[in-house]
Amino acid sequence: MLKKFKEYKKLNLKSISKEITQYWEKNKIIQKSFQFRKNLNKKDRSSYHILYEGPPSLNGSPGIHHTVSRTIKDIFCRYHTLKGKIVIRKAGWDTHGLPIELNVEKKIGITKNDIGKNISIEKYNNICKYFVKKSMKKWIKFTNKIGYWIDLKNSFITYKTKYIESVWWLIKKLYKKKIIYKGYTIQPYSPAAGTGLSYHELNMPGTYKKVKQITPTLKFKAIKSTLPKEIQKFLGDIYLISWTTTPWTLPSNTALAIGSDIDYVLVKTYCPYNFLKENIILAEKLIYKILLPNKFYSVSNNYEFDRSKIENKNKIPYYIAYKFKGKDLFKSRYEQLLPWFKPYQEENNAFQIINGDGYVNENEGTGIIHIAPTFGIDDLKIAKKNNIPSMLILNEKNIPIPLVDMQGKFLNCYPHGFSGKYVKNDFNTNINTKLVSVDHEIVSFLEKEKKLFKVEMYTHFYPHCWRTEKPILYYPLYSWFIKTTKIREKLISLNKKINWIPKFIGKKRFDTWLKNIRDWNLSRSRYWGTPLPIWRTKDGKEELVIGSIKELFLEIQKSIEYEFMSYNILENFIPDDMRDENYEKIDLHKHFLDKIILVSRKGAPMKRESDLIDVWFDSGAMPYAQFHYPFENRKYIDEYQFFPSDFIAEGIDQTRGWFFTLHTISSLLFNSIAYKNVLSTGLVLDKKGNKMSKSKGNTINPFELIENYGADAIRWYIIFNSEPWDNLKFDIKGIDRGINKFFRTLYNVYSFFVLYANIDGFSYKEKDCSLKNYTELDLWLLSELNTMIKKVDESYKDYNPTKVSRIISFFVLDQLSNWYIRLCRRRFWKEEYTNNKIVAYQLLYKCLITISKLLSPIAPFFSEKLYIDLNSITKRETFESIHFTNFPIYDLSFINKELEKRMLLVQRITTMSFSIRKKNGIKIRQPLKKLLILIRDEKIRFELKKISEILKQEINVKNIEFMESYNDLESVKYIQPNYKSIGSRFGNKTPIISEIIQKFTQDKIKEIEYKKKYIFFLQGEKFILFLNDVKITTEFIKNWSVIFDNELTIALDLHITNSLWEEGVIRELIRYIQELRKKCNYQVIDKIFIYINAIQRIQSIIQKNKNFLCKETLAVDYFF
């Protein structure tokens, strides 16, 4: 029995996803895909396409935004598989770091301070591991459901011992290059998270938030005897006024910075709080920002100032008494603003006026900057340059500490009730953040101390922790750093070798970031992460960096000899045994490693530096650690087999995250780029363009979405709706539109094909028909098909999947469904199985099978289903899956650009004709007498005449005539001057020229319309009128409707004769009967009887057209 193509009652993408998932699982299709094309030359790097997976942080469930990058990566892996490549795509999981720890703390109800006290570090780390394993299951489920084919079985996991060992090896190599160092510097620090942050973390999108806070202008009393003599002579106290946005740092002030060549002034005025006379110093250019005109006014001399009185608090006089350069004040001193503490060392150098060139400006504030070296990066630089001490005091252990602890609280030794208070309310989880802040309290205290000159609320952007979303502090920390500044130029140079999509991300955003790079803070004072493999003596004079477990094993043996260790806790580990079961015997996390004491060369005990490694280094190490390099698979990296990657794709936020760390590590250690092509995806926003968040209630559950719509619909929406690098306003209604417009149309094309193919028994057993049997329409579709293949291939190569989807969509909707099939329906209706019909079947089959392959990277489930349904009957290919096939190859000999242009013109004419019908309320089924087409190009007219029958059929007219000029169509033209144009060109001659234009004859109007210009002389002077200098309107004879589209003009005869009307009635009746057949679920070949109730005139029309009616509706007979 002849097998038939499968027919379906309706499209259901959700059930297709489930069916194909089962097919893949049953036949192990995904597993086979990772071994596919392994018969190629494995030593040839060009045989491979390497994807590096940006490992998602397993700190919870995947969100809707994760569908974007996973879809993008999957698309290009599938594309390169079709193109004959061996595609290497290992899954990876980022299992360490702050996001995971914070989630665990929240879930089990603890804070960082509880770890090691109320819960052991080992137990805490085991909970973290349990949490990430649980999260990994959700991610694997999501990965499978969205159709992302990646090697999950051999995935890299950052908490695994082998992975950590590779990271250690990288750290040791950096250390040997003298690129790693330990320093006590000011770093971004998150009290809420309890750890320092790197600068790339501080520059993640959304970390800078707008805040409004109190900002005082303060009076620092100068020690008069240290000032220049010219200033000392002024009577009364002299104050340097300084503005700050961080009042909580004022107890830590140790200097005031000014600009050497900035002009400063001594101003006599009144304090706006107590209205006492005062002498203040500030930058001259900033007087009007401090002494605001609505409150202060200037007097011209000292006499006038001395005689002035304050009659209104908003009318305070001031007088500029003396001008000088900033350098005149260097080394002058002032009284400590809040004399609560003294620096533990070099106190005599504190509280000076110092050179702040390069830091002080005249844009805001007072031109005098308060310096607190313990809480400012630039403050510390300037302080060190001028030998100014930081405000550090000694604790009970005689260790110098800052005045704020690591929880963000003032030390308990603070006077005046400030002890133990949080410097920002955000750090205190037990209070309402709207309560009075420490900043307000300090300002109030200073006001009572008569040290406040002015106060205001100020709005600016302040950095926040990327995970806790709470403010950071710039805080003094002992940290280990990577000296990335040393290779700044190399990073910039290598970046130029990377193909960024879009270009501006690499050329501007990433390049700018690299130019302003700072040393990478590698240290994290947390518990769950890759431990820093550095052991140090107590005095810090000796240190050892461990680069492998074997090395650690041997060092422990030495330590046992010195009796620092009683036994080797790695005794069950077998060095050089690379089996997974050997590595699973040990756990290289903090709770394990901190038990190990090593011995220095001089015989001193060494303990491990307590910090962990920045989790971004973990993920940046994946090109090497995923293969356990260099302990295994050395050739993958050393011989550049799997390095660098051909492609990576993640969100825009990774520009200063994973993209940066990959680039930095590969540049530092291998003098190479880590990736050749990188696509940076935009943000996923809600449909109104707002950021999605649980608190706003505008998040979308991806699992529910996939369950409701199927993965293909979501993938198509993401790709088709906007280019990957643009932000996506996610609107669920758009998914429905994609299903209805694209997938349903393609499904209908398939349904149309199989309906008639099954009737005729077509299964592509015949040889391919010769092109001689192809009609003009067939040749056009063949040309468009090959053009599409070419364009799609080029767009995939350019990493533009959106362009791919739109090219395919245009072909399916406009070329195939709305044009070719509509014009070819009658070929399929015919009962004879002729070459003409076989050509149509073969061509339509080729279109469907080609579309399925081109579409398969974007919509893998639907494409697989379409391919199986087609190929299972024809057996033309032996592939088990569409994803194992080869990418279609276009044939240039089939591409006929002239034919494509010609057909495009036909389509334009058709659209214009339909527009006329719609405007005049005439249905397309109503035949009309004549269409006139104005085409001046003789060649195009000749070519159009070849397919005039197609035009007649599509437009539903009896005759088509071609015009060479408007003379062929009776009309009257009217011309008016375009005053805006001629006025600007001809000036005072405009009235005369306007009169000449209005007297143009019909011939002159047609001349300017045809030649696009008209030359004439006026009083011996030559003038040229262009087409845009005039406005031409045309009125045609009755019953004709005309429409223009650039160079194309058509006219449709709207007069409907009686015979035309009768034919229209029959066509409308046929349409109605066909609808009834469809509602009754009749098959295309089913014969019917028709019963008609109609007036006598309609009955008469039916009788005249009996044969036509019965043939079109497959009616045996009809009855009235």
**Arithmetic mean of pLDDT, 866-893:** 95
| Amino acid identity, position 252 | S
pLDDT higher than threshold 90 for residue 1111: no
Between 1017 and 805, whose confidence is greater? Answer: 805
Q: What is the pLDDT of residues 708-734, one digit of tens each?
A: 999 999 999 999 999 999 999 989 999
Evaluate the CA torsion angle 94, 95, 98, 104 in order and state its sign.
positive
How far apart (Å, rounded) are the C-alpha atoms in residues 714 and 17? 12
Strand-pair partners of 992 = none
Contact predicate 542/602, CB 8 Å:
yes
Looking at residue 532, the DSSP 8-state letter turns out to be P
pLDDT of residue 962: 82
Answer yes or no: is 910 within a domain.
Answer: no
Q: For the chain, what is the domain count?
A: 5
Residue 398: strand, helix, or coil: coil
- In this structure, are 394 and 442 located in the same domain? yes
Confidence of residue 613 (pLDDT cuts 50, 70, 90): very high
How far apart (Å, rounded) are the C-alpha atoms in residues 294 and 299? 15
- In this structure, are 794 and 849 located in the same domain? yes
**Arithmetic mean of pLDDT, 689-700:** 79
Least confident of 149-163, 515-529, 690-704, 1075-1089: 1075-1089
Answer yes or no: is 430 within a domain.
Answer: yes
- In this structure, are 294 and 435 located in the same domain? yes
How far apart (Å, rounded) are the C-alpha atoms in residues 212 and 660? 32
Residue closest to 874 by CA, chosen among 764, 950, 738, 992 = 764
Range of the domain at 859: 1-35+733-895
Strands 1115-1119, 1088-1091: pairing is parallel
Cis preceding-peptide flag for 644 (omega within 30 of 0): yes
**How far, CA to CA in Å, does 1069 sit from each of 84, 210, 1093, 1117?**
54, 68, 12, 15
Cis preceding-peptide flag for 623 (omega within 30 of 0): no
**Arithmetic mean of pLDDT, 873-887:** 94
Torsion of CA 797, 801, 807, 811, to 10 degrees: 110
pLDDT higher than threshold 60 for residue 1026: yes
Q: What is the pLDDT of residues 953-983, one digit of tens each?
A: 888 898 888 877 655 556 667 788 988 888 8
Place of tokens 């922790």: 465
pLDDT of residue 1116: 76
Contact predicate 496/638, CB 8 Å:
no
pLDDT higher than threshold 90 for residue 673: yes
- In this structure, are 1031 and 1078 located in the same domain? no
User: In sequence order, which residues have a C-beta less than 8 Å from that of residue 645 and are 6 or more positions away?
Assistant: 50, 51, 52, 623, 674, 675, 676
Residue closest to 925 by CA, chosen among 953, 949, 956 = 956
Give the tokens for residue 630.
Answer: 């260099």
Could you please report the per-residue DSSP string of 36-49? TTTTS-TT-GGGEE
pLDDT of residue 1035: 67
pLDDT higher than threshold 60 for residue 590: yes
Confidence of residue 1053 (pLDDT cuts 50, 70, 90): confident
- In this structure, are 1027 and 1069 located in the same domain? no
| Amino acid identity, position 828 | F
How far apart (Å, rounded) are the C-alpha atoms in residues 671 and 663? 10
Q: Which of 463, 491, 515 is the last residue of a domain?
A: 463
- In this structure, are 1027 and 1061 located in the same domain? no
Contact predicate 1027/1005, CB 8 Å:
no
Residue closest to 1094 by CA, chosen among 1056, 1058, 1120 = 1120
pLDDT of residue 1036: 61
Answer yes or no: is 699 within a domain.
Answer: no
**Arithmetic mean of pLDDT, 498-512:** 94
Cβ atoms within 10 Å of 722's Cβ, excluding its own: 16
Q: Which of 610, 637, 655 is the last residue of a domain?
A: 610
Q: What is the pLDDT of residues 221-262, one digit of tens each?
A: 999 999 999 999 898 999 999 999 999 999 999 999 999 999
pLDDT higher than threshold 90 for residue 13: yes
How far apart (Å, rounded) are the C-alpha atoms in residues 746 and 767? 26
Answer yes or no: is 501 within a domain.
Answer: no
How far apart (Å, rounded) are the C-alpha atoms in residues 475 and 376? 7
Give the tokens for residue 46.
Answer: 């060009």
How far apart (Å, rounded) are the C-alpha atoms in residues 913 and 105? 69
- In this structure, are 217 and 289 located in the same domain? yes
pLDDT higher than threshold 90 for residue 884: yes
Confidence of residue 38 (pLDDT cuts 50, 70, 90): low
Looking at residue 119, the DSSP 8-state letter turns out to be B
How far apart (Å, rounded) are the C-alpha atoms in residues 970 and 966? 8
Could you please report the per-residue DSSP string of 91-115? EEEB--SHHHHHHHHHHHT--GGGB
Phi-psi region of 1046 (alpha: psi -120 to 50; beta: other; left: phi over 0): left
Strands 728-730, 684-686: pairing is parallel
**Arithmetic mean of pLDDT, 169-180:** 96
Percent with pLDDT over 90 in the chain: 60
**Arithmetic mean of pLDDT, 317-346:** 94
Evaluate the CA torsion angle 174, 179, 184, 190 in order and state its sign.
negative
How far apart (Å, rounded) are the C-alpha atoms in residues 180 and 458? 40
Confidence of residue 990 (pLDDT cuts 50, 70, 90): confident
Answer yes or no: is 544 within a domain.
Answer: yes
Torsion of CA 532, 534, 540, 542, to 10 degrees: -170
**How far, CA to CA in Å, does 760 sit from each of 764, 843, 1000?**
11, 15, 65
Residue 680: strand, helix, or coil: strand
Q: How does the average pLDDT of the chain come out, rounded?
A: 90
Answer yes or no: is 76 within a domain.
Answer: no
Rg (CA), the chain: 40
pLDDT of residue 467: 76
Strand-pair partners of 477 = 185
pLDDT of residue 785: 98
pLDDT of residue 321: 92
pLDDT of residue 434: 64
- In this structure, are 978 and 1083 located in the same domain? no
Cβ atoms within 10 Å of 212's Cβ, excluding its own: 9
| Amino acid identity, position 1076 | L
**How far, CA to CA in Å, does 110 sit from each of 95, 117, 766?**
20, 11, 74
- In this structure, are 979 and 1064 located in the same domain? no
Contact predicate 200/656, CB 8 Å:
yes
**Arithmetic mean of pLDDT, 744-758:** 94
Alpha helices in 49-159 (DSSP H): 66-82, 98-108, 121-145
10 Å CB burial of residue 903 (0-12, 13-18, 19+) is: buried
Domain CATH code at residue 990: 3.30.720.200
10 Å CB burial of residue 921 (0-12, 13-18, 19+) is: exposed
pLDDT higher than threshold 80 for residue 311: no
Catalytic site residues? 55, 94, 616, 654, 658, 691, 694
User: In sequence order, which residues have a C-beta less than 8 Å from that of residue 632 and are 6 or more positions away?
Assistant: 578
Domain CATH code at residue 856: 1.10.730.10
**Arithmetic mean of pLDDT, 439-462:** 91
DSSP E strands, 191-308: 195-196, 208-221, 238-243, 255-258, 263-270, 277-283, 296-298
Give the tokens for residue 351.
Answer: 């509280």
Contact predicate 998/977, CB 8 Å:
yes
**How far, CA to CA in Å, does 409 sit from each of 191, 405, 413, 419, 443?**
9, 5, 11, 8, 17
Contact predicate 411/419, CB 8 Å:
yes
Answer yes or no: is 416 within a domain.
Answer: yes
**Arithmetic mean of pLDDT, 828-847:** 89
- In this structure, are 233 and 338 located in the same domain? yes
How far apart (Å, rounded) are the C-alpha atoms in residues 300 and 305? 8
Confidence of residue 943 (pLDDT cuts 50, 70, 90): confident
**Arithmetic mean of pLDDT, 664-672:** 96
pLDDT of residue 433: 54
**Arithmetic mean of pLDDT, 85-92:** 94
**Arithmetic mean of pLDDT, 562-573:** 94
Least confident of 523-532, 825-834, 871-880: 825-834
**Arithmetic mean of pLDDT, 104-118:** 90
Contact predicate 835/769, CB 8 Å:
yes
pLDDT of residue 968: 57
Strands 543-545, 473-482: pairing is unpaired
- In this structure, are 988 and 1073 located in the same domain? no
- In this structure, are 451 and 595 located in the same domain? no
| Amino acid identity, position 370 | H
pLDDT of residue 872: 93
Between 1014 and 175, whose confidence is greater? Answer: 175
Residue closest to 591 by CA, chosen among 572, 605, 571, 612 = 612
pLDDT higher than threshold 80 for residue 928: yes
| Backbone phi and psi for residue 718, each to the nearest 5 degrees, phi listed first | -60, -45
10 Å CB burial of residue 607 (0-12, 13-18, 19+) is: middle
Cβ atoms within 10 Å of 733's Cβ, excluding its own: 9
pLDDT higher than threshold 80 for residue 398: yes
Answer yes or no: is 491 within a domain.
Answer: no
pLDDT of residue 192: 84
Q: pTM of the full predicted structure?
A: 0.83
Contact predicate 932/1051, CB 8 Å:
yes
**How far, CA to CA in Å, does 823 sit from each of 688, 778, 837, 951?**
42, 11, 13, 10
Q: Which of 868, 895, 922 is the last residue of a domain?
A: 895
Alpha helices in 405-450 (DSSP H): 438-448
Confidence of residue 556 (pLDDT cuts 50, 70, 90): very high
